Amino acid sequence: MEQEHPNLESFLSWAAQLGISDSTTRTNQPQHSLSSCLGSSLSVSHFPHSGGRGLGAVRDLRRGEIVLRVPKSALMTRETVMEDKKLCDAVNRHSSLSSAQILIVCLLYEMGKGKTSRWHPYLMHLPHTYDVDEAMWVTEKAMLKAKSEWKEAHSLMQDLMFKPQFFTFKAWVWAAATISSRTLHIPWDEAGCLCPVGDLFNYDAPGIEPSGIEDLDRLLSNTSIPDTIVLNGDKNIMVDAEQLDSHSWRLTDGGFEEDANAYCFYAREHYKKGDQVLLCYGTYTNLELLEHYGFLLQENPNDKVFIPLEPALYSSTSWSKESLYIHHNGKPSFALLAALRLWATPQNRRRSVGHLVYSGSRVSTDNEIFIMKWLSKTCDAVLRNLPTSLEEDTLLLNAMDNSQDFSTFMEITKLVSSREETYTFLETHNMKDTHSFTDVILSRKARRSMDRWKLAVQWRLKYKKVIFDCISYCNKILDSLVK
């Protein structure tokens, strides 16, 4: 934070000149007299245990209160960037590219302009690197898709005479990661927009969404309006029922408002002075957060785990595969339980018990015992087939968190079977032949690699914990049924 302080002040001053403001006074006019766009409601702060750099409250904030406005003219969109005639003409000759591909090219094009770009202060403020290469392990399809889209955009980048450094796949991956992780939803362009200052908000997960008929019945029988309703979008917007009036819904997170001609952000809850002000931009599992944003949540109510299921199970139910999962607390989803109950019922009896299954009721005690035993056995097999155990990952993560030096870390990792990972780490950073780690000082690259390794261990530990908790859930149900 200290090193970037001068650049940060310059960026916030530039933003104020564009009319970006956290003032409660409604205005879209540039604030030439202000040295910063923040200070009335928000400030840039560091939250080491919850997202790093983010936006903090400089005063008490009420839920639903506006905390930031970013005028449309300050948003970086395909529309604003393509005011450049050269870029516009070139893009029009390549109409087969997707909106996202074009926005990626626009970002690289502006980067290539250097200080002559109107977005230069913002572009210099973007992260120089992302953990994209490591996030891509989530699926080979992601890497193949990125390379395919990069190749498809080759001719457009050639038309624009990109400098060599902006033509590389590495540059494309950086720009794609920027678009993937930082764009906000706008109604007129599916590619979204880059929103200076607005993208400083860290993520807060939405509440648990209704997962079954019993939850829907509870909501429908409730005489009060639900606190929030999720609207679909690239980045979901939360609508606060408390802020309803006779004219419109009040957004409690953020969205583009036509009447204000600006992207407006609202406090999603009451905040005390000094609290981190967070933004919910969708429902994500930890794996999705790791893939798209490079972090995960210690407590994510929307996390879910999928396990291998019998092929016949899919054909016995109308539930989609995406709904057959285990919740973050180890409890099977409503759809998974219903599908298992129907699958475990003889085919000639399924129609007669369908009303029980779809109401969330048990078919019979024997049916419930069978599916709980099957689910527990399947989860146990998943854990046994993984390269490392829950206990080993816990020990490894504790070593990463608590070791005061690399030598101590190396001693601890000798006790776990994941030591192969340690050898890979040493080999990658040319440390395999090191005889003593007592005085080893990790390079910046090695420290970043260690941080990414830690994220991977955190994710797989949470994955195993969910499966372990599902086994405990099954055993608890079995104990109650056999008494």
Closest CA to 65 of 213, 359, 268, 249: 268
d(CA 412, CA 321): 40
Q: Which long-range contacts does 147-155 make (Cβ < 8 Å, 24+ apart)? A: 149/98, 149/100, 149/101, 149/104, 149/176, 152/96, 152/97, 152/101, 153/94, 153/97, 153/101, 153/104, 153/105, 155/94
Instruction: Tell me the pTM.
Output: 0.67
Q: What six digits make up the tokens of 429?
A: 């950073």
108 HSE (CA, 13 A, CB side): 29
Please give the torsion angle defined by the CA atoms of residues 409, 410, 416 and 417, in that order, rounded to the nearest 10 degrees. Answer: 140
Q: Which residues of the chain have pLDDT under 70?
A: 1-6, 25-34, 49-51, 129-142, 207-252, 403-404, 412, 414-419, 432-440, 483
Decide if 261 contacts 273 (C-beta within 8 A).
no
- CATH architecture designation of domain 303-483: Alpha-Beta Complex (3.90)
Cα 268 to Cα 56, 207, 213, 262, 296, distances in angstroms: 13, 12, 27, 18, 20
Q: How far apart are CA 431 and CA 446, in angstroms?
A: 10
Do 206 and 296 form a contact (C-beta atoms < 8 A)?
A: no
Give the Cβ contact number of residue 308 at 10 Å. 9
CA-wise closest residue to 254 among 65, 13, 52: 65
As annotated, the residues of the chain forming the CATH 3.90.1420 domain(s) are 303-483
Whole-number pLDDT of residue 67: 94
